[in-house]
Structure formats: structure tokens, C-alpha cells
Amino acid sequence: MAKLDLSRRSFLKASVIAGVSVYVAPLGGKAFAALFEEKLLTPVKWSGKDGKAQFRIDGIAKVTGSKVFARDARARDMPHWPDQQSHAFILRATRADRSYEGFDLTLLGDELQPDRIVTAEDLARDGVKFPAFYGEDMLLPKGKTPAYLGHAVAILIYHEFAKFRFAKDTLKFHDEVIRYGAVTGPLERDPWGTFRFVRVGGTTPFDDDVFSSLKNAPVFPNMMRKHQPVWPDGQEHGKLGEQGMFYAGKIQDELDHPPADWLVFDREYHTQSIDTAALEPDNANCWYDAANQALHMIVPSQGPLEVVESATELINGAKARFPVKQLFVHPCFTVGYGSKDHYNVPFYGLVCALYGDGKPVRLAFDRYEHFQTSIKRHAFKMHYRIAVDKKTGLMQAFKGDFEANGGGRANFSPSVAMVGATAAQSVYYFPKNDFAAVAIASRAIDAGSARGYGTLQSMAATEMAVDEIAEKLGMDPIDFRLKNVLKSGMKNTQGAIPAGAIRADEVMEKAKVHPIWANRAKKKADFDTKNPGQRYGVGFACVQKDFGTGAESSFAKVEIGEDGTISLFHTGNEIGTGMSTSQALAVAKWLGFPAGDAHFGVTDWADLPVVTSGNPYLMSQAEQNKVSANPRWSPAYASPASATNSAFYYTHSTREAARVVFMHGLWPAAMAIWGQGIGGGQAGPLVVRVEDARWVDGKLSAGGLQALPFEQLVKKAHELGLVTGATVHVFNRWRWSEADFDIAGKPVRLPIDGLSLKYGSGAKPADKAKAATRGGYHVLDRKKVYIPDVQMNNAAVTYYSAVGTLVELAVHEASGKVEVLNHHSIMECGSQLSPQLVSGQLQGGVAMGIGHALHEFLPLYEDGPGNGTWNFNRYHVPRAKDVVVWKQTGEVLPPVTETDPPKGIAEVVMIPVVGAIVNGIAHAIGHRFTDLPVTPEKIQEVLA
């Protein structure tokens, strides 16, 4: 889920926290383990031979039903909290076309009245308001029209559970509780964001571009007129935007008046709003301890640091009424598929606590409330025009218009629209493109980060388009794809060259010879004959999805204790994907063993002070040059667990920290042992190079030297006062920041931008004196830093992983039901950190994609979830019978070499199956749907 945050949010960094001491004790951390009865993370049981873990390190806690989720925690579980737990729920407006005029709780009678009611008037009086990112009207004041369906108007707090439960049940579905005034019509607002990416390539895909976003600039509108963008006039030699529009005009002319041998394909695609349906409904449990001016928050979040920053912003605004000197945040394992990244529930939870009369207040949504408020996937409307040379079968130009419905609050809508547009090329090379994307504001529920992040929408449509184009050209769909596939070194639609080897062609070649594809014609004939009333079809789609945001940052700390314990601390948080396991495993590359003591969601980085300022996406090069003179500065602090960022980006920081410990701790320790004695010891007669170092069964060897046990190396490293711990900070703007450091007097360039070191127990007094942080680290000031130029922002994406999926299905003519009979996926993901986690992601992603293609649908407006009546009884999440649980297969391309970095796959896995199903339906019944999901009703309509 790449995120280019172009909102007006003023980025809040560590400095904003000044005045409030922040303490974070994540679940699984030592501090939190002390609060709960059990330690939740168990050491990795693994085999050093194959590098595979036997099970997830959070597995025992999860399989025994331990308190893993924020939702499980109650006040009584927190030793330092009062025992009594209060509860709250929120009243919401279910109409957004008239003014809100208050509420009526008569239905509750006398007995079920709340102990405390919080309204917009309270918030205004007390200076309580949303952090800027979330917009205005946290609770809607009387007299205003709700910005969207489900807009919160009041919080009801109860100090007794039974009263809370029965009051909530009593008011459920009773819209008449909310009073409305004059009909105003829905609010009309400017779009949340608008972008345009124009590219005209050179003579070949490898020549310099004539014009592109990376080389020149994206195009932005001059202004809005009637809430629509007004683009610059095209001028060949004008300003960058005018130049872009000049080339956009030429592309338009060419599509309108194509050469005789061009096919100009023209389609409009629609894809629906869905709920990510994370099974843990949104919740928070917070306590404001006025006597000690302390605020405590138990929150499920993909980005605990964002919660810390935004909570600090909120409480600083209200400090006159609710002074807070200490903020305690307990992030928990959670699940969101994006929807718990930058979502507003933690802050409603915080407000509940402020008005909780000194009691901890739990705000835990039921599924109806979750549907009513959780971050949604954007509905997209896409108009594609694609030109193909009929003689060569090569695609020539792609003009796309994208409209993403962002709903009531901006959230990440601008970047979702942008990412959707920049992904539309899918796996193909286009010599020319003009993509215009707009994220509109509407009265729908907020849409934001959701697995796929705009690319599911646009790439699935592209895969439907290329399949249909191939048919029109009379070509095999995979042959047509192969003819146009983007190859290594070619440019994307922003003019950037993707990182490394692009292997979509290998995925396609494998699909082409797979029996599902190769035998499809014969099997269709046989199946249709044997199964009257059913029609067989096979579909294929292949996409490559970016991972990361263009401003990826993280901290990692790796330490080896004298007893040999390897500890890992990381800013990343577990969201179900298994990152806690894979990161623990990742250190084994350098240290021979996985981390046995692992901590995630860590936000206390006193051992490596890093500061940040400005917006990494918007700052000028001059500004970056100026502020980066501060050796502690980085363009970003720490990314939430989202955007499929763990495998590639988190692993980078984890492994760089481990590498520093190896290169400056274990390796010199080994050399000291090998070199001991007359004539340079056993190493003397040999050529010893660090690149020959290998771990075998927990022992280190190199170039014929004696294999030394890990424990012996650790002991020696400590004895010699070598590096036994490293904290690193990293930043990536489609390439890594690098910096020069002096380690033990030697210059070293590393792909990190911050570094601190811990020395072994035998360190010299001078080194010990330098290790002045709380955790005993020596903070190194970098000598020089090489941060990727801000121009790289215009690349929009450079990292991709590819997946192709073949689907066999049967369309039941009478019912219109689509039965998925089998599917096979082929994935390219670099080196796998954990094959079990990778295949689990693939299986889960395919299931979610099947849901998107065939089952899941939410109306955007009055009939949709904003009305508070949606639940799983009518929102069909795929079950086992829907996903071919026993037959499905998948394969992973071997890495080019074992040095391939691991790539993120959590989002790409769900996308090709969407296009493959729609293409399979076309094969089955000869009709190409362009509107998702393809429901039985739509099929019945076509077959009628």
C-alpha cells in the first residue's frame, strides 16, 4: 500500500511530544509481559539447516486464546489501573442530507440513562479536537449537516456493564433517536486530491523519455471549478505542467484519430466499496488519571507511533482542561489489512477516557458499528483507452481516468487515487500514457488504506482489458501479455526503472504451460457436455504490485547478551502477517541463529536519537540539503506496519543491525581466535576473507578455518569489548539512504542513516564512556549522508513483486452462481524469509480476491453500512467452500540467487485472481463484465 501523503497534515515528529513523556509497553515487550500473566512471544524453534521456523513466535499465545488483542484487555488486567471498567458507545447520524439537531434518549427510560454524555459542545468548550490528519467535527455540532453517513454526534458512557449492554441494545437500529432539521442536501466539497501522470517514452523503452513524471514532473490542476480540476493549458515549451498537458493533448489526438492499423480499445470499469472485514472489530480502552496527569491507552493499531504522535497532538490542544504529563500507550497485536492504519478509533477512545470520571473506559464496536465506521476500500470508476498496433500486437498508448470515492474524511484518499493510477499499467510497457486520478469527497464512509491500496482496483481492470484486447486481436491472451510485458530495465508509467529483475515474464511462461491453461479448450468442451446447465471457463491474470510508501523508515536494534541471547527490537508491529516471526528469523543470516528475545511495536529509541521535520513527499531539495546537515535528522521517523513493508523494508533494518554486530563484533572475535598464536595461528597460512564466512549448524567458519561455536564468539566479542549491539535507523525513498560512519576509527559506508553501538563487557573505559544512552549505546554522528533526492518522489514506485493466477470455474446457468473449481498461482517474491508464511499469505490473499470478484459489496450511501445495519449475514466473506480449499495450488519462483532480498507480497497475492475470475467468466459464457462484483443476478441478466 504505497502512500504518498499529500494531505495538508502538518507532520508531527518526536519534537511534538515534548512536554509529554511517552511510555510505550507493547504486548510482547518485557514491560507488558509483566502486566499480563504470560509472555506472549516464545523463542523461535527452528532448524539451522533449512532456516525454517517450526511455528510462529506468537503462535502459542494465539492458539490458546490468550489476551493478545487490545479487545481482550480490561481494566482489571492492568495492574496499575483501577479495577472498575466503564464502557461507551457512540451515537451516529444515519442521514447526511439534512442538519443534525440533537438526540432523544427517551427510549432508554430512567434506568438505562448514561452516566456521562459527551457532545460537540463539550469538546469545543474543552479544546478537544481531532488531530489535524482526521479533519474536523470529531463529534458533529448541532445545526451542521453530517459530512458522511455514520458521522459521530455523541458518546454515551456507562460505569456499569449491564446498563451499558442493555442501553446499547435498546438504541440499536433506532434511527429516530437522532433529530434532524432542514434538508440541505449532502455537502459538496472539493476533491481530496487530484494527480496526473503523463509520459512519452523515447524511441525504445530503454531510451530517455521525452517527458515523464520522474524526469520532469507530475501535472497538478491550476484550480478547482465546481469541485472539478482545471488543468493547465498545453504548451510544448511552457512550465512543466503545461508541457505535460501538451503531451497529454498529443496522446488524446492520437487516440481520437488513430493510424489505420491501430485498435483503440475503450471501456469503463467500476469496482465496489468493500470492508476489509478484519475480524477484530475496532476498539480502544483508555484511562485518564487526572490526579497524576497521566493518560493510558490500550489500542489496536498498525502504527503505534502514529497513535502516540496524534494522541499527543490531541491532548496538547486540550491541556488547559485535561493536563497530561505522561502518556502510556499499549499497542497490541492486531489485524486490519490496512484499516487500522491511521484510523480514528483510538482518538475516540482517548476522548471517552477524558470524560470517564476518572475511570477506564472501553469503546469496543460490535460488527454493525465496525461496518458503520471502519476504513473502507475505495470504490473506483475507471475509463480506459488503450491503443494497440494490430500488426505487431504491441500496445502503444494508455489513457486512463480514475475516480476514487474517498468518502467523508480525506484520510489516505489522495495517495490511494495516485497509487491506483500509477499501478494501472499492471505488468506491461506502454510507450505513452496519460493517467488522471481524482479522489472525490462524498457522504460515504471514509475510505483509506485497504489491502491493495488502489492497485487492486486499477490492475484488475487492466487485466480484464488486456484479455479482451487479445481476443479482439485474435491472439492467445498469455501470448499477448508476453509480447507487451515490462522487462527488466524498462520504465514504468512515471518514467522510473523498477528495482532489479522484473520476472513477470517468467510467471507468464509458467502459466502458459500449466495444464489448467494448456488444456482449457478440450476441458471446456468435455465439461460443458457432461454438465448440462453449467459452463466451464478458465481465466488468467498477472500483476505486479509495488510495496512500500516512498518514505519507508524504521528502527531496529540487535543485541547479543553475554549469555548468547540474541535480542531484537523493532518499530514494526505484528498485524497477523507473521512479521514478528520473520524478523526474528532474519537476523540468522548474520548471527547464525534467530532472535530468541524479540520486541515489536517499540517506540522508545533513546539509544538512537533521530529527529525529523518537514514532509518527506513535499520538501524541496534545498530544504532537505539544509536539514540533513544535522547528523541525527532523517526525512521520516518510523513507518506503520502497512504497505506490505515488512519483508523488504523491515528486514533491511533488522539485517543491517545484525550485520553491524557481525562485522564489528562476531567476525573480529572469530579472527582473534583464529589468529591466536605464533605465525598468525591457524589463520596465518590461509587467505581469510569475510565474504567466505558461513554459518553451519550454529558455528562460524570461513575459507577452511575451524568452525567456532556461536557461544565462543559471543564470549570473545564481549571479552574484547567489540560491538555486541547495534541500533540502526533506515530511510527509503525508492532507494536507501546511505551514510558514512567511523567505526573503531575506520570509515564505513552503510545503507542506513543512523547508527549507535553497544560494546562488550570488556570494552575499554574510553568506549564505555561514549556509551552514554540509557541502554548503554554510543551514538555515532554520521560523517556524510546520501539521502535519495526528492525528485525520486515522482517515481511513485520502483519495487515490485509479481503474481499470476489461473482460475477454473463453472457458471451455473439457472442460478447465475459462479463456482470456482480450482486455482493455481505463480509468485515471484525474491528470497523467502519463511515459506510457510509466504504460502499462507498467498492462500489468504486469493480468498480475499475471490470475495472481491464475486461476493463482497457495500452500497456507498443510504443503503450502505453507514446506516448501521450491515453485518456478516449479508456481507459474504468467502468460506472454505468458496475458495477450493483442498485442491488449490501455488508455486514460488526460485530467487535468481540466494542473495535476492525478500519482497513484500501481502497485497499482490489478492489481485490477479480478481481479473482471472472475470476473464474466466468471459471464457465460460462469452460476456465480459466490467462492474464488480460479478453477482449471480448480473449473470442471470446476461444469460436471460
Partner 1 sequence: MSIANKPLSLTINGKAVGPLLVPEGLMMIDFLHEYVALTGSRLGCGQGVCRACVAILDNPDGTSEEIRTCITGAHFFQGKKIRTVEAHAKRNDKGEVVELSPIQQAFLEHYSFQCGYCTPGFVNAATVLVEKLKRQPVDKDKVEETITDALNDHICRCTGYVRYYEAVKEVVMNTPGLVKGGKA
376-405 positions binding partner 1, by CB under 8 A: none
Check residue 60 for interaction with partner 1 (CB under 8 A): yes
In terms of CB distance, is 206 or 872 closer to partner 1?
A: 872
Beta bridge partners of 283: 364
CB closer to partner 1, 23 vs 161:
161
Min dist CB 108 to partner 1, Å, is 8
Query: Cβ 433 to partner 1, closest distance in Å?
Result: 34
Asked if 387 and 421 count as a contact pair (C-beta separation under 8 A), the reply is no
456-515: contacts with partner 1 (CB under 8 A): none
Exactly one of 448, 816, 845, 902 binds partner 1 (CB under 8 A); which one? 845
Residue among 563, 687, 881, 898 that touches partner 1 (CB under 8 A): 881
- CB of 848: closest distance to partner 1 in angstroms? 7
Q: Which of 871, 896, 926, 941 binds partner 1 (CB under 8 A)?
A: 871
Least separation in angstroms between CB 879 and partner 1: 5
Q: Cis check for the bond before 933: say yes or no (omega within 30 of 0).
A: yes
Identity of the amino acid at 407: G
In angstroms, what is the minimal distance from the CB of 836 to partner 1? Answer: 4
Is 333 one of the binding residues for partner 1 (CB under 8 A)? yes
- Is position 886 an interface residue for partner 1 (rule: CB under 8 A)? yes
Q: What is the full DSSP assignment across 416-428?
A: HHHHHHHHTTTTB
Neighbours of 699 (CB within 10 A): 17
Task: Map residues 23-52 to x or -, x wherever contact with partner 1 holds by CB under 8 A.
Answer: --------------xx--------------
Our measurement of the distance from residue 418's CA atom to the centroid of its chain's CA atoms, rounded to an integer in Å, reads 15
Closer residue to partner 1 in complex, CB, 877/893 = 877
Maximal C-alpha separation, the chain: 95
| Residues numbered 682-701 forming contacts with partner 1, rule: CB under 8 A | none
Residue list 143-162, contact with partner 1 (CB under 8 A): 161-162
Q: Which of 27, 88, 96, 112 binds partner 1 (CB under 8 A)?
A: 112
Binding residues for partner 1, rule CB under 8 A, total: 71
Among the candidate windows 485-493, 545-553, 776-784, 873-881, which touches partner 1 by CB under 8 A? Answer: 873-881
Report the C-alpha gap between 397 and 389 in whole angstroms: 10
Complex with partner 1: residue 63 or 525, whichever CB lies closer: 63
Residue nearer to partner 1 on the CB measure, 53 or 327: 53
Residue recorded with cell 528502527 = 555
Q: How far is the CB of 331 from partner 1 (least distance, A)?
A: 14
The Cβ of residue 884 has, within 10 Å, a number of other Cβ atoms equal to 20
Query: In the 8-state DSSP scheme, what is residue 932?
Result: S
Distance CA 889, CA 84 (A): 51
Closer CB to partner 1, residue 28 or residue 218?
28
Please tell me whether residue 109 binds partner 1 under the rule CB under 8 A.
Answer: yes
Least separation, in Å, of the C-beta of 913 and partner 1?
11
> If we measure between CA atoms, which residue out of 115, 96, 111 comes closest to residue 170?
111
Convert residues 811-830 into a mask of x (bound to partner 1 by CB under 8 A) and - (unbound): --------------------
What is the dihedral sign for C-alpha 23, 26, 30, 32?
Answer: positive
Asked if 552 and 634 count as a contact pair (C-beta separation under 8 A), the reply is no
Residues 867 and 931 sit within 8 Å (Cβ to Cβ): no
The residue within the footprint of partner 1, chosen from 48, 59, 317, 703 (CB under 8 A), is 59
Among 13, 142, 159, 165, binds partner 1 (CB under 8 A): 165
Exactly one of 62, 142, 189, 381 binds partner 1 (CB under 8 A); that residue is 62
* Residues in 348-377 at the binding interface with partner 1, rule: CB under 8 A: 364, 366-368
Using CB under 8 A, which of 49, 50, 111, 474 touches partner 1? 111
Backbone angles phi, psi at 875, to 5 degrees: -115, 105
Decide if residue 279 touches partner 1 (CB under 8 A): yes
- Binding span for partner 1 by CB under 8 A among 7-15, 279-287, 491-499, 787-795: 279-287
Packed helices 455-473 and 912-925: angle between N→C axes, nearest 10 degrees: 30
Quick one: 276 or 493, whose CB is closer to partner 1? 276
Rg of the chain over Cα atoms, rounded to whole angstroms, equals 28
Nearest to partner 1 of 47, 625 (CB atom): 47
Determine if 596 is a binding residue for partner 1 (CB under 8 A). Answer: no
Question: Which of 215-223, 275-283, 385-393, 655-663 is the region at the interface with partner 1 (rule: CB under 8 A)?
Answer: 275-283
Smallest separation, CB 334 to partner 1 (Å): 7
User: Should residue 883 be labelled a site residue for partner 1 when binding is judged by CB under 8 A?
Assistant: yes
Of 64, 204, 529, 897, the residue at the interface with partner 1 (CB under 8 A) is 64
Site for partner 1 in 562-581 (CB under 8 A): 575-578
Q: For residues 71 and 144, which CB has a smaller minimum distance to partner 1 in the complex?
A: 71
DSSP code string of 70-86: GGG--GGG-TTS-S--E
d(CA 71, CA 283): 6
Distance CA 757, CA 755 (A): 7
* Grid cell locating 768: 564505555
CA–CA separation, 489 vs 61, rounded Å? 46
CA 734/CA 788 separation, integer angstroms = 8
Q: How is residue 529 written as a grid cell?
A: 457436455
DSSP 648: I
The grid coordinates listed for 136 are 474536523
Closer residue to partner 1 in complex, CB, 658/848: 848
Q: Which three cell numbers stand for residue 476?
A: 492467445
Among 3, 71, 385, 778, binds partner 1 (CB under 8 A): 71
72 binds partner 1 (CB under 8 A): yes
Q: Choose between 499 and 877: whose C-beta lies nearer to partner 1.
A: 877
| 763 touches partner 1 by CB under 8 A | no
Kindly state whether residue 54 participates in binding partner 1, applying the rule CB under 8 A: yes
Q: Does 840 bind partner 1 (CB under 8 A)?
A: yes
Q: Does 531 bind partner 1 (CB under 8 A)?
A: no
Which residue, chain included where needed, has cell 442460478? Answer: 815
541, β-bridge pairs: 805
Site for partner 1 in 80-99 (CB under 8 A): 85
By CB under 8 A, is residue 55 in contact with partner 1?
A: yes
Please, what's the b/e burial string for 785-814 (b: 16 or more CB within 10 A of its CB; e: otherwise)?
Answer: bbbbebebbbbbbbbbbbbbbbbbbbbbbe
Question: Looking at residue 830, what DSSP letter applies?
Answer: B
What cell was used for 28?
510482547
Which one of the spans 271-279, 693-701, 731-739, 811-819 is the region binding partner 1 (CB under 8 A)? Answer: 271-279
SS (H, E, C) 4-16: CCCCCCCCCCHHH
List C-alpha distances in Å: 695 to 108, 273, 312, 698, 920.
Answer: 68, 49, 46, 6, 48
Residues 404 and 377 sit within 8 Å (Cβ to Cβ): no
C-beta closer to partner 1: residue 846 or 939: 846
- Report yes or no: 137 and 196 within 8 Å, Cβ to Cβ: no
Q: How far is the CB of 362 from partner 1 (least distance, A)?
A: 10
Member of 630, 712, 836, 940 binding partner 1 (CB under 8 A): 836
Q: Is residue 621 close enough to count as binding partner 1 by CB under 8 A?
A: no
Instruction: Give the span between the Cα atoms of 723 and 428, in whole angstroms.
Output: 47
User: Does residue 179 interact with partner 1 by CB under 8 A?
Assistant: no
**Contact status: 113 vs partner 1 (CB under 8 A):** no
Please report how close the Cβ of residue 608 comes to partner 1 at its closest, in angstroms: 30
Contact 752, 774 (CB under 8 A): no
- Whether residue 555 contacts residue 656, with contact meaning beta carbons closer than 8 Å, is answered with no
Evaluate whether 47 touches 55 at the Cβ level (below 8 Å): no
